[in-house]
C-alpha cells in the first residue's frame, strides 16, 4: 500500500523559514517524480514544486520560485520542501504527492500538513 506521511507543519512568523518532510513507503521511491501541492483554507489546489526521480531537476511556479526548494533523499525514501521568506499567503495545507510535471498526474496524496504564517 502506497503511503505518504508529511510532517513539519506549524505556526511560523512572516519572513521566517520552515522545512517539511514526507516519508514514502509502498513503492520504489527512486522510480518516481514527486511533488508538493498546497491548499489554502477553504480554497482550491495549487501546485508548488516538482522534482525528478533522481533529484537532478526541479520545477516551481512563479509564486514560490526563489523562496521554496524541493529536494529528496532516495536512500531514506524522503521528500523535503524548504520554505523561506514565508508570507501570509503561503498559509495552507501542504500535500506530498507522487507524480511530476509535464504530462503527469498526482496518483497518490499524503494526508497533508498545515502551515500557518502569522505574527
Binding site for another protein (CB under 8 A): 35, 44-47, 50, 61, 95, 101-112
> Is 92 in a helix, a strand, or coil?
strand
State how far the alpha carbon of 33 is from the alpha carbons of 17, 49, 52, 59, in Å. Answer: 25, 11, 5, 11
Report the nearest approach of another protein to the CB of residue 75 (Å).
Answer: 26
Q: Which residue in 23, 31, 65, 32 sits closest to 47, CA to CA?
A: 65
| Of residues 35 and 68, the one with the C-beta less far from another protein | 35
Min separation Cβ 58 and another protein, Å = 13
Q: What's the min distance (Å) between Cβ of 96 and another protein?
A: 10
Q: Which is nearer to another protein, 18 or 50 (CB)?
A: 50
Exposed, middle or buried: residue 118 (CB in 10 Å: 0-12, 13-18, 19+)? exposed
Nearer to another protein, 46 or 55 (CB): 46
Amino acid at each position: 500500500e502506497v503511503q505518504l506521511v508529511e510532517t513539519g507543519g506549524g505556526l511560523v512568523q512572516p519572513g521566517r523559514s520552515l522545512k517539511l518532510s514526507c516519508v514514502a513507503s509502498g513503492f520504489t521511491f527512486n522510480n518516481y517524480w514527486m511533488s508538493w501541492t498546497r491548499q489554502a483554507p477553504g480554497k482550491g489546489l495549487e501546485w508548488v514544486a516538482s522534482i525528478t526521480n533522481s533529484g537532478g531537476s526541479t520545477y516551481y511556479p512563479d509564486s514560490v520560485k526563489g523562496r521554496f526548494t524541493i529536494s529528496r533523499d532516495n536512500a531514506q525514501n524522503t521528500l523535503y520542501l524548504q520554505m523561506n521568506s514565508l508570507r501570509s499567503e503561503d498559509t495552507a495545507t501542504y500535500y506530498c504527492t507522487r507524480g511530476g510535471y509535464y504530462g503527469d498526474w498526482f496518483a497518490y496524496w499524503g494526508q497533508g500538513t498545515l502551515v500557518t504564517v502569522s505574527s
